[in-house]
Amino acid sequence: MNQLLLKLEDHFEEMVIIRRYLHEHPEVSHEEVHTPAYIANFHRELGLEVREYVGGRGVVATLRGTKPGKTVALRADFDALAIQELNDVPYKSKNDGVMHACGHDGHTATLLVLAKVLVGMQDQLSGNIVFIHQHAEELAPGGALAMIEDGCLDGVDVIFGTHLWAPTPLGEVLVKDGAIMAAADRFEIVIQGKGGHGAEPQHSVDAIVVGAHFVTQVQTIISRRIAPLQSGVVTIGQFEAINPFNVIADTVKIQGTVRALDEQVRRQIKEEIELLLKATCLGMHATYSYEYFDGYPPVVNHEEQTKFIAKVAEQTSGVEKVTECPPFMIGEDYGYYMQHIPGTFFFTGAKDPQWETVYPHHHAKFNFDERAMLIAAKVLGQAALDFLEND
C-alpha cells in the first residue's frame, strides 16, 4: 500500500471526529457561518493559501507543490437541511430543526483530512491541488455558480468530486460517463377560476376541477410527448386551495419539479407544461399564471476523466467493486463546474452491511457508514496524485 493510503488510514479517526463535530453543528444553505470559518481555519493551520467568502460563503484552499505542473481541484459541499433529526446517536444535531441529512458533513471531513495528509507530501507534488468547499448545494441558486464566477476554477485543469451514497453498499464505487444526474427545475402555477356557492356550480368556474384535470393530464407529457428512450420526470408536489367545504374555489396554487438528463428534453417539458395548462384553462373558462425556474443543469461527466477515476478506484484498497450505474434523476449543482473544465463526479457506497434498514438521503434518520469517507479520500487523493504525476 502506498504512502497516501497508509497515511489516510492513520488519520481515519480524526476524519470521524471532524465529521461528528460538523454533524452536531449543521447550518442550512446560504446561512452557513460557523462551518466555513471552521474549514478556513483548518486549512490555514495547515499552511495553505486560503480564500474565504468565495461566491458568498465558499472556501477555497490551495496546496502548491514544490515543482511546476498542472492544477487539480477536489470539491466538497458543506450545507445541511431544514430537517429535525430523529437519530439517537451521541453526535446528534444540536441545532433545532437543522440536520446533515445528505452526508455533506462527511464530504467536508473527507476533504479536510485528505488535505492534511497531502500537505505532508507537498515536496513530492508537481503542480497544485485546489480544495473547493462549496456552500448551498441543497438550495438553488446554489453555491457552485457563484463560486465559479468568483474565480474558484481559475487556473484549474480538471475537477473531481464524489457523493457518499447510503443506498449503495460500502466498498462499491459508482461511475457513469455522460449524464449521471439530472437537471432539477421548479415551476409555480396559479389557476384563476370564479368562486361561488357549492350548491350552484353553474354560476362558477371551479379552480379545483380545472387544476385536477391539469394534474391528471400533465403526466401525458412524459408518456406521450417525450420519446420513449429519453428520460424525464414531472412531479406535482403541492396543490393548494384553502377553502370552506361548501364553497367552490376560485384559486388553486400548484407547484412541482421537472427532471431531465438532456437539455432539449428539459426545454420541451417546460414548453409542453404551458401548452397543456393553456388548453385546459381555455377549455374550462379559467385563466392562469405560470412561472418556471431553471434549477441546476444535468451533471454530465467527461469520458476521459470518468475512465480515469474508474481505473484509480479499481486499484484502491477498500474498493471491492466499481460499477457503471444508470443515471439518477436527482439534482446537483456540481454540473456547473464541468461546463467550464473537464471532470467527473462519482458515488462512493456508504451502506453499512449490518444495517437492516437504510434510510434515504434527506430523511430525518439518515446516516451512513463512516468508513466510506476513508474510501472516498483514498480515491480522490490518488486521483489527484496520479493526474499530477502522469501529466
Nearest of 255, 353, 349, 339 to residue 297 by alpha carbon: 339
User: pLDDT tens, 42-99?
Assistant: 999 999 999 999 999 999 999 999 999 999 999 999 999 999 999 999 999 999 999 9
For residue 59, the cross-strand partners are: 133
Q: Are residues 135 and 206 in the same domain?
A: no
The reported pLDDT for the residue numbered 390 is 84
Which residue spans within 100-143 are E strands per DSSP?
126-134
User: pLDDT tens, 123-176?
Assistant: 999 999 999 999 999 999 999 999 999 999 999 999 999 999 999 999 999 999
Q: Are residues 150 and 31 in the same domain?
A: yes
Q: Are residues 150 and 216 in the same domain?
A: no
Active-site residue, from 85, 105, 137, 369: 137
C-alpha cell at 237: 408536489
Q: Are residues 309 and 288 in the same domain?
A: no
* Reduced DSSP (H G I as helix, E B as strand, rest coil) percent helix, strand, coil of the chain, to 5: 35, 30, 35
What CATH number is attached to the domain comprising 261? Answer: 3.30.70.360
Which structural domain, as residue segments, surrounds residue 67? 3-181+298-390
The reported pLDDT for the residue numbered 146 is 98
79 is catalytic: yes
Query: Which of residues 258, 273, 296 is at a domain's end?
Result: 296
Q: Are residues 60 and 192 in the same domain?
A: no
Domains in the chain, number: 2
What CATH number is attached to the domain comprising 167? Answer: 3.40.630.10
The reported pLDDT for the residue numbered 391 is 65
Active-site residue, from 27, 32, 77, 79: 79
Distance, CA of 17 to CA of 44 (rounded, Å): 19
Q: Write out residues in the chain with pLDDT < 70, as ranges.
A: 1, 391
Query: Which of residues 296, 326, 361 is at a domain's end?
Result: 296
Peptide bond just before 353 cis, omega within 30 deg: no
Distance, CA of 337 to CA of 247 (rounded, Å): 51
Pairing, β 287-296 against β 67-77: unpaired
Distance, CA of 263 to CA of 1 (rounded, Å): 43
The reported pLDDT for the residue numbered 61 is 98
Q: Are residues 51 and 116 in the same domain?
A: yes
Distance, CA of 368 to CA of 102 (rounded, Å): 9
Query: Which of residues 232, 267, 296 is at a domain's end?
Result: 296
Q: Which residue carries 385546459 as its cell? A: 280
Phi, then psi, of 4 in degrees rounded to 5: -60, -50
Q: Are residues 114 and 224 in the same domain?
A: no
